[in-house]
Amino acid sequence: MCTPDESYHGIVYAEKFGKMGYIQKAVAQLMRDLGTCQAPMNAFILNLGLESLHLRMPRHCENARKVAEYLQSRPEVGWVEYPGLPGDKYYELAQKYMPNGTCGVLSFGLKGGRDMAVRFMDNLKLVAIVTHVADARTCVLHPASHTHRQLNDEQLVEAGVRPDLIRFSTGIEDAADIIADVEQALAAAK
pLDDT along the chain (190 residues), means of 10: 86 93 85 77 88 92 97 97 96 95 95 95 96 89 90 90 95 97 97
| CB-CB contact of 121 with 129 (8 Å) | yes
CA dihedral 18, 20, 22, 26 (to 10 degrees): -140
pLDDT of the residue at 133: 82
| DSSP category for residue 20 | G
pLDDT of the residue at 39: 84
Beta strands in 63-144 (DSSP E): 77-81, 105-110, 128-129, 139-141
pLDDT of the residue at 116: 97
Give the separation between CA 167 and CA 161, rounded to whole angstroms: 11
* pTM to 2 decimal places: 0.77
